A and B are shown apart, each in its own frame.
Chain A
Amino acid sequence: MKVGPYRISIRTSALIVPGICTGYGLYQYLNVRQLPDSKINLVLIEPVFVMMVFFTLWVLVREVEFRREKAEGEPEADNSSKRGTFRLWLRSSSTKKVGGFMLLSGLYLGLVEPVGFILCNFAFLVAGMLLLGVRSWPLLVILPAAATAVIYLLFQVWMQIPVPAGFLDFLP
């Protein structure tokens, strides 16, 4: 946004957390307002929501950048390096690892119930270690097998907390 000789801008990523916080606060506030006994249930939620809005504005004001526009004839700022930095970040090995691990974890959580804990956990540990750079095959087999067995025995057998069985529902 341009105001006089200044360009006011805010990084889009700076909006993510305030957006999540205030978005949920608004949902909760509106939800409780619709209840029949909303007054008593809002006794803490209302002031907390008002304060959330206040601190969201405070955070956003601090994130806003004011930049003076260049006068005519002055060379334009070179933004290509910024774009380059973003591309580099996107292509960096750590970003790929983080993204890959997020996907892998999501897949693991999604498949534990239908496939079963034993198979899924073993596959997750092998895939996770491969993704992060473990290349020793004995380690890739022994550690996941041992960890899965220990967890299974600890929870299923000793503490009698049933873990999802999936395909292996014939096991004790």
Chain B
Amino acid sequence: MIDWTDFSRGAAALLSWEIPLSIILGLALGTVFGAIPGLTGGMGIAILTPFTFRLPLMPSLVFLTSVYTGGCFGGAISAILINTPGSPASVSTTLDGYPMTRKGLSNEALGISVAASAMGGFIGMVFLLVIMKPLANLALRFGPPEMFMVAVFGLTIISSLHEGGFAKGMLAGLFGMMLGTMGMSSTGAIRGGFHIMYLLDGIPVIPALIGLFAFSELFFLMEKEYITESGETIRRNLRKMLRGFYTAFRYPVNVFRSSLIGVIIGALPAAGATVANIVSYNEAKRLSRHPHTFGEGDPEGVVAAEAANNASEGGAMATMLALGIPGGQATAVLIGAFMLQGLLPGPRLFYKHMHVVYGLISAELVEEVLLVGVGMIIAYYFAGIVTVPTRILIPTIAMFCTIGSFALRNAMFDAYLMFAFGLLGWIMRKHGYPVIAVVLGIILGPIADRELIHTNQLFAGDLSVFFTRPISLALVVMSTLAVAFPYLVRRRRER
């Protein structure tokens, strides 16, 4: 599976002083980009690509993949500290990360996220190294029915949300799906959108995410002096962060399972880190011996969410390198960066420049190790946020929410949308509706809609196709069990 001659050639290309410098700088910038709500790792790669024009091949590619790695992790910092996923890929990290902060365990949660991210990313890269070609081929066997079922499988997490009960969770999730179908469909029809030009592409996820999670939280924070529930200031503490770091090693099965989910989902075009983050959190909760503690600050939730979204990078890179198919925004920009260096990702890259591929994977393995140090340092400085009184924090976060939403498309409309979602999130949370269900619907709804339309067109409306294709059937069975299992467990516990 591994061509050791090319591998050693590729690894030898890393033995220059520019490589560690590129990695550290890329990781630091990527982490900061990921941690600022509204900016993503993909955006970071896009902004920083022009700075790599004059760099040699390996340092430039290593720098950009380091930004990608840092961006995957950075989203966890703001998700944990201010309940705002820095990027959609950290959406499930908020579920247990922020409750940990409210319990005064922000340092531990950050340490856990660093360890889980590095381990998940490392496992993802090992997978990439070993099963790059077979995985890319498997990803190609996922047609529209399978992709629809992946989206449905991701949505099954709603059934296990405790907040507000099953009916409220389902209503919120369906509402999110309905919002997700807004805009131009894959048939070219414009649906809903109130004739607003900015909604032709559908609801932009980032303003919705910032509004529902961050802006709505500000209204609740007004009743407190500090973010923490006890009202005490929890100072940043490296020792506690290290304790959290070691905590993640207590869940090897969770890390491995979540990483595996991350790699497989990451390899699916258009699924990526966000879906991986959601599905692995769901699976960790379902298979846990104490699922009731999920959502209340369970370290396992943070481990599952962070291991998966970082491992998804391995899967996404496999599809990008082996087939030349970008799985998402970040890999799409990376393909552009490869092209700038005269390389075209795809089967030819494997044939002609295998040593470059191996060199890049070796660098990625080093990146995951160095992420521990860089991630810890940046998370340590960000951790100071919880010591700031809410009377200062609230207007400042509101400003970041506004500018982060605006920066996405240079449109004030996105900031207005963020504000509307903020009010909606506040009202929903006041009445016990889980806003995470709306977010899941907005993210997975368009995927489900597009793939179901394609399935309908391809198979002339014959829905039996979901039961006749083996991968699709397996996903149908898993989704059914995923919905039924928490419900049955809850019923049994009530008896």
Contacts and interface: CB of A to CB of B under 8 A. Distances in A.
A102 B423 CA distance: 8
Interface stretch (A1-9, A68-76, A77-85, A108-116): A108-116
Interface in B159-215: 165, 167-168, 170-172, 174-175, 177-179, 181-182, 185, 187, 189, 191-192
B186 to A, nearest CB: 9
A132 B189 CA distance: 47
B178 A28 contact: yes
Interface stretch (B324-332, B341-349, B369-377, B426-434): B426-434
B218 interface: yes
A58 B152 CA distance: 22
Interface stretch (B60-68, B101-109, B229-237, B390-398): B390-398
A132 B182 CA distance: 37
A138 to B, nearest CB: 13
A47 to B, nearest CB: 10
A87 B172 CA distance: 30
Interface residues of B, number: 54
A49 to B, nearest CB: 7
B390 A132 contact: yes
Contacts of B165: 62
Contacts of A153: none
Contacts of B174: 21, 25, 48, 51-52, 55
A41 B428 contact: no
Given A21-B172, A62-B167, A37 B187 contact: yes
Nearest to B174: A52
Nearest to B177: A48
Contact of A139 (B179, B392, B407, B457): B392
Interface in A40-72: 40-41, 43-45, 48-49, 51-52, 55-56, 58-59, 62
Main secondary structure of the interface of A (DSSP, over half): helix
B377 to A, nearest CB: 20
A110 to B, nearest CB: 9
Contacts of A139: 392
Contact of A161 (B222, B407, B448): B407
B242 interface: no
Given A31-B192, A109-B416, A59 B171 contact: yes
Contact of A106 (B191, B403, B419): B419
A17 interface: yes
A124 B175 contact: no
B453 to A, nearest CB: 6
Interface string A110-151: 001100010001001100110011100001000100010001
A46 to B, nearest CB: 11
Interface string A4-43: 0000000001101110110011011001100111001101
A155 interface: yes
B399 A109 contact: no
Given A36-B189, A102-B219, A161-B410, 9 more contacts: A13-B431, A14-B431, A27-B192, A28-B178, A32-B191, A35-B189, A51-B170, A125-B395, A132-B394
Q: Closest 6 CB pairs between A and B?
A: A128-B395, A132-B391, A21-B175, A58-B167, A55-B171, A28-B192
